[in-house]
Structure 1
Amino acid sequence: MAHSPIRTARRSLLRAALALAAAFALPPALAQDNPPVRLIVGYAAGGPVDQGARLVAVALSRELGGPVLVENKPGANATLAGSEVVRARPDGLTLFFAASPTITISPNVMARMPFDPARDLAPVAPVLSYYNVLVANNDEPFRTTRELVAYAKANPGRLSYGSAGVGGSNHLGMLLFAKRSGIALNHIPYKGNAPAMTDLIGGQIDLMMDIISTAGTYIAAGKVRPIAVTSPQRNATLPEVPTLAESGIAGLEGFDVGGWYGIYGPKDLPAAKVESLNRAITAALAQPALAKRLKELGYDEWTGAPQKLAERAAKERALWSTVTQGIVVD
C-alpha cells in the first residue's frame, strides 16, 4: 500500500529526531542526577516545531545532566501550551518551546488571547531561526517571481494559496508578499501545513509558503516547484532558489520575513535560573551533531542572551500589527 508523500516526510523527520535522541542518550546514572524538565510544544508530534524541539531536547539533556521531555499540547495557535507554562511554578522545570507566530502574530489576531507573551512569559534563550520558500504547483505556467506577479496581474483572482490557518506566519507572509507586489491572491486556510501541501501537490491550490526544512523534501522529490525564498540571502539548503528581493520588483526590496523558535519560562523565573538555562541551551546548540543536523534541515543558527529574543519578538509583533488589520481569529 502506497504512503502519501506528506506522511512519508513526517515519518522521516520523526525518525531523524529519534536517531539523534539515541545518539545523545544519557547514561542511566547521569539521567538521575537532576529532575526532568518539561519542554512544552504547542503543535502535534511530527511537525516542524515538534521536530525542532526534539532535536534540541536531546542535546539539552546532556547539558543539564537530566532528561528533557517534550510534551505536545496542540491547539489554539499554540496558546494552550503557552498558558500551561504561564501557570507553572517558576522553577525552570516547565519551559515553552515557542514558535514565533504564538509570540508575535497571535496577540494581533486572536479575539481572546489567553495571555500576553511580553508580560506573562520570561524569555530564556533564542534557539534557531528559519525562512520559508514560496512553492507552486508543477502545472503552473510561471517559474520565477517576476513571471508569477505578471501572471497574477493579468489574471486577477485566478491564483489561490494555502496556509496552516488564518493568522499563521505563512498566511501573513503571503499576504505581505501580495501587498508589496500589488497582486490579489485568494487565501485558503487549512488545519496545518501538511494538508495544504497535499492540495498544492494535487492542484487544488496554486501556491503556498512553507518552512524550508519541510518543503525541501517535496522540492527534492519534484512534487512542487520552488519560486523564491523569503530570506534576505539565498539559503544554503536551496542555493539555486533566488530570494524574493532578487526579483527586482518594486516593493520587494529587502524582503525579509522568517520565523524563529525560542524558549520561555514563567514570568517570575529567577534571573539566576534564566542565566543558567540560557548557558545550557547555548551550549546544547553548539554541540556538533545538533548544529550539523539543524544546518542540513535549512535552519539558521540563532543564539544569544534572553534580551535578544525579547527584542526580536517586540520588533516583529509591531511589524505584523501593520499587516493583520481586520484579521480576527476566534
Structure 2
Amino acid sequence: MPHSLRRLAATLILAPITLATLAAFPAAAQEGQPIRLMVGYSAGGPVDQGARLFSVALTKELGTSVIVENKPGANATLAGSEVVRAKTDGLTLWFAASPTITISPNVMSKMSFDPAKDLTPVAPILSYYNVLVVNTKEPFKTTQELVANGKANPQKLNYGSAGVGGSNHLGALLFAKRSGIEMNHIPYKGNAPAMTDVIGGQLNMMLDIISTASPYIHSGKVRAIAVTSPQRNASLPDVPTFAESGIEGLKGFDVGGWYGVYGPKGMSPELVVKLNKAMNAALAQPELRKRFKELGYEEWTGAPKKLAERGAKERAMWATVTQGIVVD
C-alpha cells in the first residue's frame, strides 16, 4: 500500500468519526502538511492559551496537525499580516482576538491591512468578558462606592491596561465616561505587569480578562468589583455586573471581546464551509467545552457571517470611543 494511503488508513482507524471532514479537507493537509494557526501575542497569555486548547480539539477533528505559531507585535497585527499574504488553501489561519479586528483599525496610525476587506471570516470561537479588580486595601467594594469615590476625588484613581488602545484600556474608559468619573490611564506592556501593580498597590484597579484574573480573585490577591458582561459569569457567580449597579449610565453595559478564526481573502466558499463545520464540531467536544467554561469563556459558535457582522458592528462602536487616541 502506498505511503499516503497507509497514512489515511491509520487516521481513519484512529478517528473514524472525522471521515466526512477529512475527505473534504485540502489535499495538502491530508498529505500531512500541518495547519498554521497564527496568534498575535506571546506564548502564555489568554489568547495563546485559548488557541492552544482549540488547536488540540481541531487536530482531533481534522486528523491533521494544527500548530500554533506566535507572532507578537504591532498591536497583534503581525500575525494578521502573515495570514493576509498566505495562500488560500486553508493551511494558514489566524486565531484573532477582537481588539485587533475592531479597535486597531480605529487607533493605529498605520495598519498594513484592512480587517474588513483583506481577510475571510471562517468561524466565531469564543466570547470573553473582563472583570474590574482593585487592590484589596481600597475602601470601595461595589461599583456604587467606586463611582462615589471617583466623583469625590476626580483624577485621583489610576487604572492600568495592557497598552493604549487595548480592550481593557477602552473598556475602562467607557465605564468612566458612562459613570461620570475621571480616572488616569497607566499603560503597561501586557496585562501581567499591570496586575502585579494592582496587587502591590501601585495601581488602584484594572480590567482584566476573567480567565486570567480569576486565580488572583479566588486567592484573595485582588478584589473583584464587577464584570462587563450583561449577565453574571459562571466562573464568578458572586461578582455582579456593572448593569446591576443601578447607575443610569451603566444600564445595558455590555463590553466584551471574542476570538475568531480568519483566513486570507479569496478562500473558496466551499473550503470556508468545510473549515467552519470542523471548527464548530471541535468546539462541541465535551472536554474542550468544560475547560473553556472553567476559564470563564462563553460559547460563541456559528457561521462565518456571524463573525463578520459582529466585527463590523463593534468597529463602529469603538470608533465613537477612540476619537483622539492614536497608536503609532
TM-score (norm 1): 0.91
Alignment of 1:30-45 (within 5 A): 34-45=32-43
Structure 2 residue matching 1:329: 3-state secondary structure = coil
Does 1:278 find its partner at 2:276? yes
> Which whole-Å CA distance do the structure 1 matches of 2:240 and 2:185 have between them?
24
1:1-330 alignment runs, 5 A limit: 34-330=32-328
| Inter-partner Cα distance in structure 2 for 1:242 and 1:93 | 42
Counterpart of 1:19 in structure 2 is none
Paired residues, number: 305
Q: Is the 8 A contact 1:63 1:283 kept in 2?
A: yes
Quote the Cα distance in structure 2 between the aligned partners of 1:99 and 1:167.
Answer: 14
CA RMSD of aligned residues (A): 1.4
Following TM superposition, where does structure 1 have runs of at least 4 consecutive aligned residues deviating by more than 3 angstroms? 26-34
Is the contact made by 1:103 and 1:313 (CA closer than 8 Å) also made in structure 2? yes
Aligned residues of 1:34 and 1:65 also touching (Cα < 8 A): no
1:27 and 1:270, CA in 2 relative to 1: closer, same or farther beyond 3 A? closer
Query: What per-residue deviation string (whole Å, max 9, x for no partner) do you get for residues 48-75 of structure 1?
Result: 0000000000000111110000000000
Report the 3-state secondary structure (helix = DSSP H, G, I; strand = E; otherwise coil) of the residue aligned with 1:108.
helix
How far has the Cα of 1:157 moved from its partner?
Answer: 1.3
**1:185 maps to amino acid:** M
Shift, 1:225, TM fit: 0.3
| 1:280 aligned partner, one-letter code | A
Compared CA separation, residues 36 and 251, structure 1 to 2 (3 A) = same
The one-letter amino acid of 2:314's match is E
Give the Å deviation of 1:35: 2.1
C-alpha deviations, 1:9-39, integer Å up to 9, x for none?
Answer: xxxxxxxxxxxxxxxxx89987975421000
Return the alpha-carbon distance in structure 1 between the equivalents of residues 221 and 229 of structure 2. Answer: 22
SS at match of 1:118: coil
Cα deviation, residue 302, structure 1 = 0.3
- 5+ residue gaps, structure 1, are 1-25
State the distance in 1 between where 2:242 and 2:225 align: 8
Give the Cα separation in 2 of the matches to 1:78 and 1:273: 26
Amino acid at match of 1:318: A
Describe the SS at the equivalent of 1:77. coil
- Cα distance in 1 for residues equivalent to 2:198 and 2:112: 33
Deviation at 1:147, TM superposition (A): 0.1
- CA 1:253–1:39: 2 relative to 1, 3 Å: same
Q: CA deviation at 1:289?
A: 0.3
1:29 and 1:247, CA in 2 relative to 1: closer, same or farther beyond 3 A?
closer
Distance 1:259 1:40 in 2: 18
In structure 2, relative to structure 1, the CA distance for the partners of 1:87 and 1:250 (3 Å cut) is same
Separation in 1, partners of 2:198, 2:75: 23
Greater C-alpha radius of gyration = 2
Q: Percent same amino acid among aligned pairs?
A: 75
Structure 1 contact 33–65 (Cα < 8 Å) conserved: no
